[in-house]
Amino acid sequence: MSQEVVSYYEDFNEIEKKIWGLLTIAVKDRSSEFRTPVFICGSDKDLDGRVVVLRKADQQNNFVQYYGGRVRIS
């Protein structure tokens, strides 16, 4: 059995390049999992989740912009 060697598994610069590539694609690709992540914060049973939509990814300025909607987790 052969294993595929993926360049971004061991190299931080390659990891960063891969993530920015996925973010850039997600700005236009509505089916991308990177387009609508869920951010959850809180403690114990008091959790608050926010579904956000990626609007802009600018690697040169190290900037991402999201639009957020609020979801209550109970």
Using a cut of 0.75, tell me whether the model's pTM lies above it. no
Q: How confident is the model at residue 6 (pLDDT cuts 50, 70, 90)?
A: confident
- Pair 17, 24: CB distance under 8 Å: no
The number of residues making up the chain comes to 74
Distance of CA 59 to the CA centre of its chain: 13
The percentage of the chain sitting over the pLDDT mark of 90, rounded to a whole number, equals: 51
pLDDT at residue 9 greater than cutoff 60: yes
Domain ranges of the chain: 7-72
pLDDT at residue 71 greater than cutoff 70: no
Rounded Cα distance between 61 and 16, Å, is: 14
pLDDT score, position 70: 56
